[in-house]
Amino acid sequence: MPKTKHTKTAKVQAMLRRPSGATLEAICKATGWQPHSARAVLSGLRKTGFTIERQAGAGKDGTSVYRIAADPETVE
């Protein structure tokens, strides 16, 4: 049986897969990262083939919400 990854990046991916997505603040709070580190992980996920959509002003306080729109294997 394969082991499940329990890395912070895997945690961010799980947050981005939720229908409600995740704000940068929520990612920072869940991981303990600074905002620049959270943005770097989003960039890294994009570089590995994930399609991440950003919905500006969709958060509670008008912040951006990020979601995974497509996994690397589904991108053509």
Band of pLDDT at residue 76, cut at 50, 70 and 90? low
Quote the pLDDT of residue 20: 92
Q: Identify the architecture of domain 8-74 in CATH.
A: Orthogonal Bundle (1.10)
Cα distance between residue 72 and residue 64, in whole Å: 23
pTM beyond 0.95: no
Cα distance between residue 34 and residue 65, in whole Å: 17
* For residue 1, pLDDT beyond 90: no
Write the pLDDT tens digit of every residue in 14-73: 999 999 999 999 999 999 999 999 999 999 999 999 999 999 887 778 889 999 998 887
